[in-house]
Amino acid sequence: MVAALELYLDVDTTRRVRTLWRALEDDGIPSLGSLHQKHRPHISLAAAHRIDPHAVADALDGFPVGRGLTVGIDFVGQFVGRVLWLGVTVTEELLTHHRAVHERLTAGGVDIWEHYRPGRWVPHCTISLRVPNPMMAPAVRRCLEYLPIQATIVGAAVADHANDISHPL
């Protein structure tokens, strides 16, 4: 079970990532779009096994989480365990925003996985959690067809899809 503080992408970028998800599915590659039909394209700022959405909302009260940030999605990456993602180019503005969010979460007592903390975080938009090993190269090639993307962050929420939690911030 995973909960995350998700940043949501503008309508055009969301449509483009959903189209990529469908193209991968058509190629026989499972995507985040088919996992349980609840995901929407996003960039996670923080994640943990459980995150109290009310504690996050309190910690970030008055802080415009992600809104108005523009990000470049320019490359494809893979995490151990067959996770495929689109990479967000790191900028000083994005890192400063990420650090400010984590300072507020820490002050609010919200516990986050170490690899999402400042200095360790790899900003990305997950495409698939379980690409079959023989399909990884074709999946990467398919993803590259959709890049580059310039995206604007339009909203944020704490999401825990396994527990039907989506708490807008």
pLDDT tens sequence across 25-38: 999 999 998 866 67
Distance between CA atoms of residues 17 and 97, nearest Å: 23
Taking each helix axis as running N to C, give the angle between helix 11-26 and helix 136-144, from 0 to 180 degrees, rounded to the nearest 10.
150
Q: Give, for all 169 residues of the chain, the pLDDT tens digit.
A: 589 999 999 999 999 999 999 999 999 999 998 866 678 999 999 999 999 999 999 999 999 999 989 999 999 999 999 999 999 999 999 999 999 999 999 999 999 999 999 999 999 999 999 999 999 999 999 999 999 999 999 999 999 988 888 999 9
pLDDT at 87: 98
Tell me the two tokens of residue 152.
Answer: 């604007």
How much is the pTM?
0.95
